[in-house]
Structure 1
Amino acid sequence: MSDLKQELKEKIITQLNLEDITIDDLQDDTPLFGDGLGLDSIDALELIVLLDKSYGIKLADPKEGRKVFETVQTMADYIEANRTK
Protein backbone atom coordinates (compact mmCIF):
# COMPACT_ATOMS: atom_id res chain seq x y z
CA MET A 1 0.00 0.00 0.00
CA SER A 2 2.81 2.46 0.76
CA ASP A 3 4.11 1.96 -2.81
CA LEU A 4 0.66 2.82 -4.13
CA LYS A 5 0.49 5.97 -1.99
CA GLN A 6 3.95 7.04 -3.17
CA GLU A 7 2.96 6.43 -6.80
CA LEU A 8 -0.31 8.28 -6.27
CA LYS A 9 1.46 11.32 -4.79
CA GLU A 10 3.80 11.43 -7.79
CA LYS A 11 0.88 11.17 -10.21
CA ILE A 12 -1.15 13.86 -8.41
CA ILE A 13 1.78 16.28 -8.43
CA THR A 14 2.51 15.59 -12.11
CA GLN A 15 -1.11 15.51 -13.33
CA LEU A 16 -2.04 18.75 -11.56
CA ASN A 17 1.27 20.53 -12.28
CA LEU A 18 1.86 21.25 -8.59
CA GLU A 19 5.31 22.74 -9.09
CA ASP A 20 5.71 24.05 -5.52
CA ILE A 21 4.76 20.72 -3.89
CA THR A 22 7.09 17.76 -3.31
CA ILE A 23 6.15 14.22 -2.38
CA ASP A 24 7.43 14.91 1.14
CA ASP A 25 5.05 17.91 1.43
CA LEU A 26 2.04 15.73 0.62
CA GLN A 27 1.14 13.65 3.66
CA ASP A 28 -1.21 10.66 3.47
CA ASP A 29 -3.83 12.48 5.55
CA THR A 30 -3.51 15.99 4.06
CA PRO A 31 -6.93 17.13 2.81
CA LEU A 32 -6.75 17.52 -0.96
CA PHE A 33 -9.46 20.20 -1.13
CA GLY A 34 -10.25 23.18 1.09
CA ASP A 35 -7.71 24.08 3.77
CA GLY A 36 -5.31 21.29 2.83
CA LEU A 37 -3.83 21.25 -0.66
CA GLY A 38 -6.50 23.67 -1.89
CA LEU A 39 -7.54 21.82 -5.04
CA ASP A 40 -10.62 22.97 -6.97
CA SER A 41 -13.29 21.43 -9.21
CA ILE A 42 -11.04 21.48 -12.29
CA ASP A 43 -8.44 19.53 -10.30
CA ALA A 44 -11.17 17.04 -9.33
CA LEU A 45 -11.84 16.40 -13.02
CA GLU A 46 -8.12 15.82 -13.57
CA LEU A 47 -8.10 13.31 -10.69
CA ILE A 48 -11.08 11.49 -12.23
CA VAL A 49 -9.12 11.20 -15.50
CA LEU A 50 -6.08 9.98 -13.56
CA LEU A 51 -8.10 7.22 -11.86
CA ASP A 52 -9.54 6.11 -15.19
CA LYS A 53 -6.26 6.11 -17.16
CA SER A 54 -3.98 4.72 -14.46
CA TYR A 55 -6.24 2.32 -12.58
CA GLY A 56 -9.27 1.64 -14.80
CA ILE A 57 -11.65 3.23 -12.28
CA LYS A 58 -14.60 5.24 -13.53
CA LEU A 59 -16.31 7.63 -11.10
CA ALA A 60 -19.79 8.66 -12.13
CA ASP A 61 -21.28 9.78 -8.80
CA PRO A 62 -20.01 13.19 -7.58
CA LYS A 63 -20.86 12.29 -3.98
CA GLU A 64 -18.64 9.23 -4.25
CA GLY A 65 -15.88 11.42 -5.68
CA ARG A 66 -15.98 13.71 -2.64
CA LYS A 67 -15.32 10.75 -0.35
CA VAL A 68 -12.64 9.26 -2.61
CA PHE A 69 -10.72 12.52 -3.01
CA GLU A 70 -10.56 13.52 0.67
CA THR A 71 -6.90 12.52 1.13
CA VAL A 72 -4.19 10.44 -0.53
CA GLN A 73 -5.08 7.68 1.94
CA THR A 74 -8.76 7.61 0.92
CA MET A 75 -7.76 7.56 -2.76
CA ALA A 76 -5.32 4.69 -2.17
CA ASP A 77 -7.94 2.71 -0.22
CA TYR A 78 -10.47 3.21 -3.02
CA ILE A 79 -7.98 2.22 -5.71
CA GLU A 80 -7.01 -0.94 -3.80
CA ALA A 81 -10.66 -1.95 -3.57
CA ASN A 82 -11.73 -1.04 -7.11
CA ARG A 83 -8.81 -1.05 -9.54
CA THR A 84 -9.05 -2.98 -12.79
CA LYS A 85 -5.50 -2.21 -13.99
Structure 2
Amino acid sequence: MEQLVKELKQHLIEELNLEEITVDDIDTDAPLFGDGLGLDSIDALEVILILEKYYGVKLSNSAEAKPIFYSVRTLAEYIEKNKK
Protein backbone atom coordinates (compact mmCIF):
# COMPACT_ATOMS: atom_id res chain seq x y z
CA MET A 1 0.00 0.00 0.00
CA GLU A 2 2.83 2.43 0.81
CA GLN A 3 4.37 1.84 -2.60
CA LEU A 4 1.02 2.54 -4.27
CA VAL A 5 0.61 5.76 -2.25
CA LYS A 6 4.08 6.96 -3.28
CA GLU A 7 3.46 6.04 -6.92
CA LEU A 8 0.09 7.79 -6.89
CA LYS A 9 1.63 10.97 -5.48
CA GLN A 10 4.25 10.88 -8.26
CA HIS A 11 1.55 10.51 -10.92
CA LEU A 12 -0.38 13.44 -9.43
CA ILE A 13 2.72 15.64 -9.51
CA GLU A 14 3.57 14.70 -13.10
CA GLU A 15 0.08 14.70 -14.61
CA LEU A 16 -1.12 17.86 -12.84
CA ASN A 17 2.15 19.74 -13.44
CA LEU A 18 2.76 20.39 -9.74
CA GLU A 19 6.42 21.24 -10.33
CA GLU A 20 6.99 22.96 -6.99
CA ILE A 21 5.70 20.00 -4.99
CA THR A 22 7.55 16.80 -4.07
CA VAL A 23 6.14 13.42 -3.06
CA ASP A 24 7.09 14.22 0.55
CA ASP A 25 5.13 17.51 0.43
CA ILE A 26 1.84 15.70 -0.17
CA ASP A 27 0.16 14.57 3.04
CA THR A 28 -1.36 11.14 2.39
CA ASP A 29 -4.44 11.94 4.49
CA ALA A 30 -4.92 15.62 3.59
CA PRO A 31 -7.81 16.63 1.33
CA LEU A 32 -6.89 16.78 -2.36
CA PHE A 33 -9.40 19.55 -3.05
CA GLY A 34 -9.95 22.85 -1.26
CA ASP A 35 -7.73 23.46 1.76
CA GLY A 36 -5.42 20.47 1.27
CA LEU A 37 -3.57 20.17 -2.02
CA GLY A 38 -5.89 22.77 -3.57
CA LEU A 39 -6.99 20.83 -6.64
CA ASP A 40 -10.03 21.96 -8.64
CA SER A 41 -12.69 20.34 -10.85
CA ILE A 42 -10.42 20.26 -13.92
CA ASP A 43 -7.81 18.45 -11.82
CA ALA A 44 -10.52 15.94 -10.87
CA LEU A 45 -10.84 14.98 -14.53
CA GLU A 46 -7.08 14.45 -14.67
CA VAL A 47 -7.26 12.24 -11.57
CA ILE A 48 -9.92 10.13 -13.31
CA LEU A 49 -7.54 9.76 -16.27
CA ILE A 50 -4.68 8.76 -13.93
CA LEU A 51 -6.87 6.00 -12.44
CA GLU A 52 -7.75 4.68 -15.89
CA LYS A 53 -4.32 5.09 -17.52
CA TYR A 54 -2.08 3.66 -14.79
CA TYR A 55 -4.38 1.35 -12.84
CA GLY A 56 -7.16 0.31 -15.23
CA VAL A 57 -9.72 1.60 -12.74
CA LYS A 58 -12.88 3.34 -13.94
CA LEU A 59 -15.39 5.18 -11.80
CA SER A 60 -18.74 3.57 -12.48
CA ASN A 61 -20.70 6.35 -10.83
CA SER A 62 -19.54 9.97 -10.58
CA ALA A 63 -21.64 10.40 -7.44
CA GLU A 64 -19.26 8.03 -5.64
CA ALA A 65 -16.21 10.13 -6.58
CA LYS A 66 -16.28 12.60 -3.68
CA PRO A 67 -15.34 10.17 -0.89
CA ILE A 68 -12.90 8.31 -3.16
CA PHE A 69 -11.18 11.55 -4.20
CA TYR A 70 -10.89 12.86 -0.63
CA SER A 71 -7.18 12.08 -0.17
CA VAL A 72 -4.30 10.12 -1.64
CA ARG A 73 -5.06 7.34 0.87
CA THR A 74 -8.73 7.06 -0.17
CA LEU A 75 -7.67 6.97 -3.83
CA ALA A 76 -5.10 4.24 -3.09
CA GLU A 77 -7.68 2.19 -1.17
CA TYR A 78 -10.11 2.46 -4.09
CA ILE A 79 -7.39 1.38 -6.55
CA GLU A 80 -6.47 -1.61 -4.35
CA LYS A 81 -10.10 -2.77 -4.29
CA ASN A 82 -10.84 -2.19 -7.96
CA LYS A 83 -7.70 -2.62 -10.07
CA LYS A 84 -7.70 -5.32 -12.69
Q: Same fold by TM (over 0.5)?
A: yes
How much has 1:79 moved relative to structure 2?
0.3
What is the number of residues matched between the two proteins? 84
Letter in 1 for 2:39: L
Aligned to 1:24, what secondary structure does the other structure show?
helix
Letter in 1 for 2:68: V
Name the counterpart of 1:13: 13
Q: What CA deviation, in whole Å up to 9, does each residue of 1:10-66 have, x standing for no partner?
A: 001101000111111101101100111110010000000110111111114222111
Query: Which 5+ residue runs of structure 2 have no aligned equivalent?
Result: none
Alignment of 1:24-63 (within 5 A): 24-63=24-63
* TM-score, normalised relative to structure 2: 0.95
Query: In the alignment, what sits opposite 1:75?
Result: 75
Give the helix-richer structure, 1 or 2. Answer: 2
What's the RMSD between the two structures over aligned residues? 0.8
Q: CA deviation at 1:70?
A: 0.4
| Moved >3 Å (runs of 4+) | none
